A and B are shown apart, each in its own frame.
Chain A
Amino acid sequence: MTRLGAEQRHRIRFTLNGEAIDRVCEPRMLLTDFIRHEIGATGTHVGCEHGVCGACTLNIDGQPARACLTLALQVEGSEVRTIEGLTGKNGRLGVLQSAFRRHHALQCGFCTAGILMSLDALFSRHCDANEAQIRDALTGHLCRCTGYAPIIKAALEAAAELKGGSNREAIDA
């Protein structure tokens, strides 16, 4: 049995957006803080820090998860994806991101990264996700700017695009 002492930093290995991470951290360090402060990937936002607001949502082993309710040490050996991993080729916006831009589905943008990660996880499992499924995924997020309607429109359009294989990215580029 290995007991990792509270005051020491311990080795942690996982992949972040496909890149191998091999660092150290204290047991109490949250995944949010590890990713933002140790790695410097600040796309994952920190809101309420008790799992309610959804701003810190990312992907762990293909599932959407709250980074603020996860200790960095708990993702040892996992595959983690964040908003930085959602960008398309050559730094262009991905399908979901460009749909959000077209529909003004964000204003301040604080909640956006988390919402995109939840929708990305939804679409990767249900490429034909309907409005009810999209609304259900959005219940795990708080947005105080948009009133959600443009978010739902953008998500529906992105879903149609992903399903139909049509490519708005080419138009937007």
Chain B
Amino acid sequence: MKPAAFDYVRAENLDEALDVLRNEGSDARIIAGGQSLMPMLNMRLAKPRILVDIMRLDELRKIEPKQGKISVGATVRQAELLEWPPLDRELKLLSLALPWAGHAQTRSRGTICGSIAHADPSAEMPLTLLALGGEIVLRSARKRRRLAARDFFLGVMATDRRDDELIEAVEFPSTGNRRCAFREVARRHGDFAIVACAAVTTGRGVRFAVGGVADMPVCREFDALGGGAVDDALNEFAWDLDARDDFHATARYRRDLVRMIGRELILEVTR
């Protein structure tokens, strides 16, 4: 339960970090708060040859509202976003979901972008970014590119990030007047979700997203639903997620949670 040996670079500016990624490729890993990566290192599920610590990069420690979006930089810790005064007004969904992301003892160091880079299928940050239709800003020594959350997550801890890229920021569309709801079932508050759900109103209906069931968070639009149509649509969604049995819960229990929580959340935001 100790990490394998690695070189350590404490990057003083963004270019330094990007240079290491360009030169070392997949041998290098970025570490920010370390709350997802350190368990992987301790269990030796990840054995990078070089670790690049970016937490000294104050240029990335920014929460910036711009053009209807809130940009959250790579070194913004989860606790810092949770305490950002306009959070409740600008990103209601995050103010509901963040208290479920790990514990106070991990949010104090873990970053928003780090959780998204890690792409655990049950994690709250990828789920909320997807539910809100957010974007990931990827940066390499050569260029900067943007990717929608729905194109970024590819599978269990797999993303479209290339070896020479780091997440510079993620952009959450401001929730403004849209209604949001979040609910999660875990063995212990703050543990990995058995099922986590987020609902947001859109112009036409409700966007409903589910984490912890498929290999990545998945979202679906539910337009103008009345009567039993919600239940039918949710049932179809629950089956489409292709739930599996595991140590924590059966596939059937997970489908039940999706149907039940889904109904509650959709009613909650449309009432």
Chain A residues within 8 Å of B, Cβ to Cβ: 1-7, 10, 26-28, 30, 33, 49-52, 54, 57, 60, 63-66, 68-71, 73-74, 76, 118, 121-122, 136-137, 139-140
Contact = CB atoms under 8 A, between A and B. Distances in A.
Interface string B96-123: 0001001111101100000000000000
B46 to A, nearest CB: 12
B84 interface: no
Q: Which 3 A-B pairs have the closest CB atoms?
A: A140-B103, A27-B8, A63-B108
A4 B105 contact: no
Contacts of A136: 99, 104, 189
B196 interface: no
Contacts of A50: 1, 38-39, 42-43
Contacts of B253: none
A69 B5 contact: no
A71 B109 contact: no
A77 to B, nearest CB: 9
Contacts of B197: none
A69 B6 CA distance: 16
Interface string B190-213: 110000000000000000000000
A27 to B, nearest CB: 4
B interface bracket (residues with beta carbon within 8 Å of A): 35 or more
A51 B4 contact: no
A27 B7 contact: yes
Contacts of B41: 28
Contacts, number: 115
B189 A4 contact: no
A138 to B, nearest CB: 9
A99 B1 CA distance: 34
Contact of A4 (B7, B79, B99, B109): B7
Given A2-B10, A63-B79, A64-B108, A139 B3 contact: no
Interface stretch (B11-19, B59-67, B176-184, B216-224): B11-19
Nearest to A62: B108
B51 interface: yes
A71 B113 CA distance: 19
A4 B11 CA distance: 11
Interface of B: 1-12, 16, 19-20, 31, 34-35, 38-39, 41-43, 49-51, 53, 55, 79, 99, 102-106, 108-109, 188-191
Nearest to B12: A1
Contacts of B106: 51, 65-66, 69, 140
Contacts of A30: 2-3, 42
A9 B99 CA distance: 38
A67 to B, nearest CB: 10
Nearest to B10: A2
B35 A3 contact: no
A71 to B, nearest CB: 7
B25 to A, nearest CB: 16
A22 B189 CA distance: 38
B35 to A, nearest CB: 6
A54 B105 CA distance: 8
Contacts of A118: 104-105
Given A3-B7, A50-B39, A51-B102, 10 more contacts: A5-B7, A7-B5, A27-B8, A50-B38, A52-B191, A54-B103, A57-B105, A65-B105, A65-B108, A73-B10
Given A49-B1, A74-B55, A4 B108 contact: no
Among A6, A26, A57, A73, max chain B CB count under 10 A is at A6
Nearest to B49: A6
B108, B189, B191 pick with most chain A CB within 10 angstroms: B108
A6 B7 contact: yes
A64 B7 contact: no
